[in-house]
Amino acid sequence: MNVLIIGSGGREHALAWKIIQSPKLSKLFIAPGNAGTETLGTNVNIGVSDFQKIKTLVINEKIDLVIVGPEVPLVEGIHDFFLADVELKKVGFIGPIKQAAMLEGRC
């Protein structure tokens, strides 16, 4: 299974550390990642809000599961973006849709 974690903080590092322990994991990508995550998987220089570049990465690397750490892309609707796209809607996704994310992330 190929997994993409979106984010660059401590939460994403902890997720990456645990996910690499799974025997089901084939490849782990972190976008954009940080110095700690580069020792656990492949950091990819893509911003958390660049949905088109994330889509390209998911398709090119045959990502099976996307996990979103930070609030910003969730509040901006990344999950909705995946659900609305024919090529992405079959990809597993962990993170709420925009309307639900706004309950916590709206300032």
CATH (domain of 67): 3.40.50.20
What's residue 106's pLDDT? Answer: 64
Give me the number of domains the chain comprises.
Answer: 1
What's residue 86's pLDDT? Answer: 97
Report d(CA 44, CA 38) in Å as an integer.
9
What's residue 66's pLDDT? Answer: 98
Q: Are 11 and 69 in contact (CB under 8 A)?
A: yes
Residues of the chain under the 50 pLDDT cut: 107
- Token readout for 62 is 């045959």
What's residue 104's pLDDT? Answer: 78
